[in-house]
Structures are given as structure tokens and as C-alpha cells.
């Protein structure tokens, strides 16, 4: 059985992710067109992107990349650790792994290897965040998603150890809430910039 909040959470995750990517591209196109109209043409997109880019600092970049990787680890732990959502695609289908003393660690390592691809893609985050004017508070909030996502992962691991006994609805809600909250914070520069542009 797929609980409604599981499905709603997954749909919201995808909508936020796709919406953020779409709006980021829209923000770049809007800025380029505005500068093109002011300059009278003859400015390449590459020159505009280079002019708009602002380095955010190595500490921030490292934290942001870590946060994006942890975001997908938290997603995998919440949705694929037990058969609650995807009965035919979950960690419990590998019995030897699920019952082993290092099973959860190996599962996490496997997820990290997969999300390593996200990490490689996340190198583009240095450019992604460089297009936005971010305050210290916003940077701090993005960096704080790392421990928040660790909370989400820890809750999902605990729920996995409880399965199939107990319902623990409150813990499930907390794991999902911390996951989605972190995603919203990570994408907040895009949504805030879009909101300010249409006001």
C-alpha cells in the first residue's frame, strides 16, 4: 500500500526539482535578454554568464555539493529502505544485505556511489549558485541543510530497523518534512529571484 503522504511527498520533490531547473533557465534567459536590449546586441550568452558569475567561496561550494548529495541519499533512504512505497524495488529484497550487520552501511555506500554522479553534476552548482545574489543568512541556511538532512537519514534508518513492526507516523512525517525543507532551502535562491522578478 502506498500511503498518500509518501506519494504526495515524492510528487512534491519532483515538482520542486523540475520547477527549480526550469526557473533557473528562465532567470538566465530573462537576464540575457535584458542585457541584450540594453547593450544593443552583440553580446554572447557565454560573456553574459561570465559577467554575472560571482564566486561563493570554497567552504560554501563544498557544503552545497555535500548537501545535494545527501539530499538524494535521504530520498533513497526514505523511499527505498523498506517495501512501504515500492514493494518491487527496495533494500529488503536483498535478504543477505538487509540482515547483515553492515547492511545499512552498505546500502548507504551504494546510494552514495550512485549519487556520486549527482556530485559530479553538482560541480555545476558552483556556477548555479554563482548567478544569484545570496546573503550570508541564505548561505548559512543552505550550509545548515547538511545536518538537517543527516537528521532525515537517521530517522529513515531508525524506521527501517523498526519495519515491519510499529507505525511511527510522526517519525515518518519528520523524516519527510526535513527532506523537503532541505530541498526548498537548496532551491530558494532560484525561487526568490523569480519571485522578485515578477513582483
Q: Which has the closest alpha carbon to 183: 3, 20, 5?
A: 20
Residue 25 has pLDDT above 60, yes or no: yes
Residue 161 has a pLDDT of 79
| Alpha-carbon span 102 to 113, nearest angstrom | 16
Residue 51 has pLDDT above 70, yes or no: no
Convert the pLDDT of each residue in 62-120 to its tens digit. Answer: 898 889 888 988 998 888 887 777 777 777 777 777 677 777 777 777 777 777 766 66
CB 2 within 8 A of CB 86: no
Residue 65 has a pLDDT of 85
Before 31, cis peptide (omega within 30)? no
Angle CA 67–68–72, to nearest 5:
110
Residue with the bigger pLDDT between 8 and 121: it is 8
| Alpha-carbon span 150 to 70, nearest angstrom | 8
Residue 39 has a pLDDT of 62
pTM: 0.84
Residue 33 has pLDDT above 80, yes or no: no
Residue with the bigger pLDDT between 2 and 169: it is 169
1-15, 97-111, 162-176: segment of lowest average pLDDT? 97-111
| Alpha-carbon span 164 to 139, nearest angstrom | 39
- Hey, where are the domains in the chain? 4-198
Residue 92 has a pLDDT of 77
Reported as a pLDDT band with limits 50, 70 and 90, residue 137 is: very high
| Alpha-carbon span 36 to 4, nearest angstrom | 47
Residue 26 has a pLDDT of 87
Residue 121 has a pLDDT of 63
Angle CA 191–118–197, to nearest 5:
15
Amino acid at each position: 500500500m502506498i500511503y498518500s503522504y509518501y506519494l504526495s511527498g515524492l510528487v512534491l520533490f519532483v515538482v520542486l526539482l523540475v520547477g527549480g531547473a526550469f526557473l533557473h533557465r528562465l532567470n538566465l534567459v530573462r537576464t540575457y535578454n535584458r542585457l541584450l536590449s540594453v547593450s544593443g546586441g552583440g553580446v554572447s550568452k557565454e560573456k553574459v554568464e561570465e559577467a554575472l558569475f560571482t564566486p561563493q567561496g570554497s567552504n560554501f561550494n563544498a557544503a552545497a555539493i555535500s548537501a545535494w548529495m545527501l539530499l538524494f541519499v535521504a530520498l533513497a533512504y526514505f523511499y527505498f529502505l523498506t517495501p512501504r512505497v515500492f514493494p518491487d524495488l527496495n533494500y529488503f529484497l536483498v535478504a543477505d544485505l538487509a540482515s547483515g550487520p553492515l547492511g545499512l552501511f552498505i546500502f548507504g555506500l551504494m546510494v552514495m556511489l550512485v549519487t556520486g554522479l549527482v556530485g559530479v553534476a553538482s560541480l555545476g552548482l558552483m556556477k548555479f549558485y554563482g548567478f544569484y545574489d545570496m546573503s550570508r543568512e541564505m548561505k548559512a541556511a543552505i550550509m545548515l541543510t547538511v545536518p538537517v538532512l543527516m537528521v532525515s537519514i537517521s530517522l529513515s534508518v531508525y524506521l527501517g530497523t523498526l519495519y515491519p513492526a510499529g507505525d511511527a507516523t510522526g517519525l515518518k512525517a519528520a523524516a519527510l518534512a526535513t527532506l523537503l525543507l532541505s530541498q526548498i532551502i537548496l532551491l530558494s535562491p532560484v525561487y526568490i529571484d523569480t519571485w522578485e522578478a515578477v513582483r
